[in-house]
Amino acid sequence: MQASAGGRPQLCSRCGRARRAHGPGQSDRFQSSREHEAFLRGLARRRMLVGTARAVLLAAFVMLWEVAARQGWINAFVVSQPSRAMATAVSMARRGDLWIHLGMTVGETAIGFTVGTLIGIVAAVMLWWSDLLSDILDPYIVVLNSIPKVALGPIFIVWLGTTVTAIIAMAISISVIVTIMMVYVGFREVDPDRVKLLRTFGATRLQILSKVVLPASVPVMIAALKVNVGLSMVGTIVGEFLVSKAGLGFLIVYGGQVFNMSLVMSSVILLSIVSVLLYYGVSALEQAVLRTRE
């Protein structure tokens, strides 16, 4: 890619100007920018390929499912089929039930992970505040972390009744211990020099907490929130399995009991869409917060 060959002005393929116009110094940069363009084109091609492959995979799966059910290769009564699941969802949406069930599940989950995260942070602050307390409570936290919280479901129902409160308690219980552990570790990993700096100014423990430990741990808290979105969804669905009269978990259980697999399948699909959306919501929050930091 010579700037000019044989004194005859060649035209630059990119900007149409004579190649000579770029000058010798710029011709280097020009050349590397061509390379860069090629690199970017490669990246774009790959992104396109990945996107297309994903869409094709999904479409192929849905089509195969539909065709297999129609041709009788699989029993549509047991595995349902996309068109029926779609029809079920549409008719529920028309009747307005869908929104009630969706709202219920999303609401319970949102309350679950918000409250679970908040309680977890408060507990982590207490453990951070008193080393003695954290030493004493350590084995209990380990035990609470190890029990499958789902096993506590019946206890919540007895205590709180077959209510939405019991479901939310389920969602909270499943996310709170993880939050305590994540956030407490985050607090302890705050750079000791930053704490020392505050101590040289004569800061109290409360000032150390509010001026460095909490703000420095914001990324950890958001990470905990992100984990909790998934966890409290588990809690909510299990809770709905056990007690509720509404919600996607209820629809799934009810559909199973009356052998309405289209209802089950459409609910499961909706559930996965909802959980992904919630996850991306928290991710967007995370991005917004982390952008202001290094």
Partner 1 sequence: MRECVNGAGSSAIRLDRVWMTYHTREAETVALADTSLAVAPQEFVAVVGPSGCGKSTVLSLVAGLIKPTSGSVEVCGEAVAGPSGHVGYMLQQDCLYEWRTILGNALLGLEVKRAVTRESMEMVRRMLAAYGLGEFERHYPRHLSGGMRQRAALIRTLATRPDVLLLDEPLSALDYQTRLEVSEDLYRIMRAERLTALMVTHDISEAIAMSDRVLVMGRRPGRIRSSHTISLTCERQTPIGRREAPEFRTYFNAIWKELTEDGRAVAGGGQRAGECGWAPAAV
H-run or E-run covering 178: helix 164-188
Measured from the CB of residue 40, what is the shortest distance to partner 1 in angstroms? 27
- Report how far residue 3's alpha carbon sits from residue 12's, in angstroms, rounded to the nearest whole number: 9
Stretch that binds partner 1, among 83-91, 154-162, 174-182, 286-294 (CB under 8 A): 286-294
Smallest gap from residue 118 Cβ to partner 1 (A): 20
HEC string for 196-255: HHHHHCCCCHHHHHHHHHHHHCHHHHHHHHHHHHHHHHHHHHHHHHHHCCCCHHHHHHHH
Judged by DSSP in three states, 11 sits in: strand
Q: Please, which residue, 150 or 214, has the CB nearer to partner 1?
A: 214
- Both structure tokens of 146: 């190890």
Contact mark string toward partner 1, 194..213, x via CB under 8 A: x-xxxxxxxx---x---xx-
State the binding string over 217-246 for partner 1 (x if CB under 8 A, else -). -x----------------------------
Q: Which is nearer to partner 1, 161 or 215 (CB)?
A: 215
The answer to whether 156 and 166 have CB atoms below 8 angstroms apart is: yes
Minimum CB separation from partner 1 for residue 113, in Å? 24
Cβ-defined contacts of 155-164 (< 8 Å, 24+): 156/239, 157/242, 157/243, 162/242, 162/243, 162/244, 163/243, 164/104, 164/108, 164/244
Q: Judged by CB under 8 A, which stretch of 15-23, 45-53, 186-194, 251-259 contacts partner 1?
A: 186-194
CB of 142 to partner 1, least distance (A): 22
Where does this chain touch partner 1 (CB under 8 A) — which range of 33-41, 71-79, 82-90, 214-222? 214-222
Q: Which residues bind partner 1 (CB under 8 A)?
A: 191, 193-194, 196-203, 207, 211-212, 215-216, 218, 292-294
